[in-house]
Amino acid sequence: MCISNPMCMLPEGFCNCRALGFTLSQINEPNHLPNTINNKQLMQNLYYISMQQTQMMKQLLGNLHTIIEKISENTSNTTNQENKTKSRQFLLDYISKVPSEAPFSLELISEFPSIVFKGRAFSFQLHINDGNKKRIMLNENLNFKICLYTSENPPQLLSINTNGEKIARGTLNFEGNSIVNFKKVIVTEVTSHFRNGSMIFVVLSQNANFIKPFVVEDFVVKARKPSEKELKKKRKVVESEEKNAESIENFRF
């Protein structure tokens, strides 16, 4: 059998396979290098495509998660706002019996303090607005008063503090037809003694159910803040006590 060409069926020496240059290595070991290179490049391309798709999926999932969070947040805010509106309307109905469609309301002119200190006076001004938020003047004066309520449900009117004294002093009533001016209002109780650590501060008209009251639902009163003069006096007392203590120690030794 021909040893130069396995495909040749003639005996060795009876063919010209050797003269044609056939070798076993050429036949049994064909050149696969181009195919190997092509396969490697194909695998790399598939890997890169897979990585890109994975990255795109991560970004898509991240964006989807953000969208879901925003939808949930907006839904929660809307629900909270609706509950707050219902709660406020219930409060107004309970305190003043003023209908929600009342044409006028009390609005702030001056800044209302975010925190009030026990026993320290504060002042503020209100004006009567119409439905377009424009200031109006009534034909006659009305009597407006300040009321304090607990944050309970239903709220309870407060008249005295824990010491049996009036819970508020100063200008608690005012008569006016446009500007409502309360000067030197003093609250004599801290709100930490009450539920939720706050009270409800209300200004309402005593004889008119067509004006929505002014309401501060989270009214906070803290222990009286000492004045600068009191702080200086206290520092002097402390320094004097420290000097006396130091003198006594030096005398002992």
- Output b/e per residue, 123-153; b: 16+ Cβ within 10 A: ebebbbbeeeeeeeeeeeebebebbbbbbee
Distance CA 125, CA 102 (A): 21
Residue 65 exposed, middle or buried by CB count within 10 Å (0-12, 13-18, 19+): exposed
147 inside domain: yes
64 inside domain: no
253 residues of the chain, pLDDT tens digit each: 666 666 666 666 666 666 655 444 444 444 544 555 567 777 777 777 888 888 888 888 888 888 888 887 766 655 555 445 456 667 777 777 777 788 999 999 988 998 899 999 999 999 999 988 899 999 999 999 999 999 888 889 999 998 899 999 999 999 999 999 999 999 999 999 888 889 999 999 988 888 999 999 899 999 876 667 766 676 676 666 666 666 655 555 5
In which domain, by residue range, is 183 found? 104-227
pTM for this model (two decimals):
0.57
251 inside domain: no
What Cα–Cα distance (Å) separates residue 203 from each residue in 118, 174, 246? 19, 10, 56
31 inside domain: no
Residue 249 exposed, middle or buried by CB count within 10 Å (0-12, 13-18, 19+): exposed
5 inside domain: no
**Structural domain count, the chain:** 1
Both tokens of 85, joined, read 């509106």
Longest dimension (CA), the chain: 138
Distance CA 78, CA 18 (A): 92
Write phi, then psi, for 55 (nearest 5 degrees).
-65, -40
**Cβ(151)–Cβ(94) under 8 Å?**
no
The CATH code of the domain that includes 173 is 2.60.40.1930
- Output b/e per residue, 73-85; b: 16+ Cβ within 10 A: eeeeeeeeeeeee
123 inside domain: yes
